Structure 1
């Protein structure tokens, strides 16, 4: 029997993991580090199965959008978004923060999430501005869209065509996620309430 040197086995395993991570992208922290729970045979969730796979972690109990990122701007503008949103539709809760600076000038606003809908890798959220360097934005509802595509995420927002708009958008309404990211990452978790019947 021919034996493969141990370093080749380790290298092959590392290459397979790298390829897998590249193909599948990143996963939400809740999926990557499942909460241990005893199984019928005394093993923990996330332990290897006899067939080589992993035991699935717990199913999500609500949708979520979390993460922070800087958008790519060829002209050097510094535009950043951060979200910590959880919950379904108008029962959503959490926070958001947006900043936009160019040549040392600009500003920021932050607020509370009031709606979140997630379908597949796309989240649409809205939130009401509660703090801002622009007083005219206080109390205004802004919309956000995130496309979670591994390390190639995108973000969009309701004020894309009118940056100074002080009009509120309807709940869970935003623009297409057209901005690409320079740094950072967003994690989107889909969940819908169980169907009655």
Structure 2
């Protein structure tokens, strides 16, 4: 099982590197643009919960997750916070629970990419020696489709490279709740 988790982790890292190359270049270009560049401001707000599908590693498939996001701004000026819960199966036992500050937000149409830094929290995942994840970067990508939102995430502590306003394809469809993505300007 450890080999499967490591292989899955390497696959996620390879996918993240590919997305960073494609999306990160755009986000970096946007972040370095002057204020008058017309970069829209926006927001992503909401709560979603769901169960991790079978395509996740067997150790996590069926686990409950919850994401709370409240972010406003653009890549040059962002405010907001996030909170994450990852439970073991259908129990109330937490595999990971953390919260932090959103440090970068990019919004275009119904898509928002928010990255941040964990202010406080822990995670118990295979291969982690220290469960304290304080100070680690995280990334959330949200596709607002009304009642059928999709999202995805990346954790620096899980060996995914996370840079400001970097996101991944929103592969996961939560079963409850949703996000509102808005663009102004």
- TM-score range relative to shorter protein: 0.5 to 0.7
Q: 1:133 and 1:68 mapped to 2: Cα distance?
A: 20
Q: Provide the residue aligned with 1:174 in structure 2.
A: 167
- 5+ long unaligned stretches in structure 1: 1-60, 193-197
1:145 Cα deviation from its structure 2 partner = 0.2
Q: Provide the residue aligned with 2:135 in structure 1.
A: 139
Q: RMSD in angstroms over aligned alpha carbons?
A: 2.1
Normalised TM-score (structure 1): 0.60
1:140 Cα deviation from its structure 2 partner = 1.1
Normalised TM-score (structure 2): 0.63
Larger of the two Rg values belongs to structure = 1
Q: 1:131 and 1:168 mapped to 2: Cα distance?
A: 20
1:133 Cα deviation from its structure 2 partner = 2.4
Question: How many residues are paired up?
Answer: 129
Larger helix proportion, structure 1 or 2? Answer: 2
Which one has more relative contact order, counting CA pairs under 8 Å at least 6 apart?
Answer: 2
Q: Provide the residue aligned with 2:153 in structure 1.
A: 157
- 5+ long unaligned stretches in structure 2: 1-39, 54-60, 124-130
* 1:178 partner SS: coil
- Measured at CA, do residues 105 and 141 of structure 1 come closer, stay the same or move farther in structure 2, by a change above 3 Å? closer
Q: 1:124 and 1:149 mapped to 2: Cα distance?
A: 15
What do the CA deviations read for 1:119-150 (whole angstroms, capped 9, x no partner)?
01000010100010245421111111000000
What do the CA deviations read for 1:46-97 (whole angstroms, capped 9, x no partner)?
xxxxxxxxxxxxxxx9400000010243553111111010111131101001
Q: 2:157 and 2:87 mapped to 1: Cα distance?
A: 13
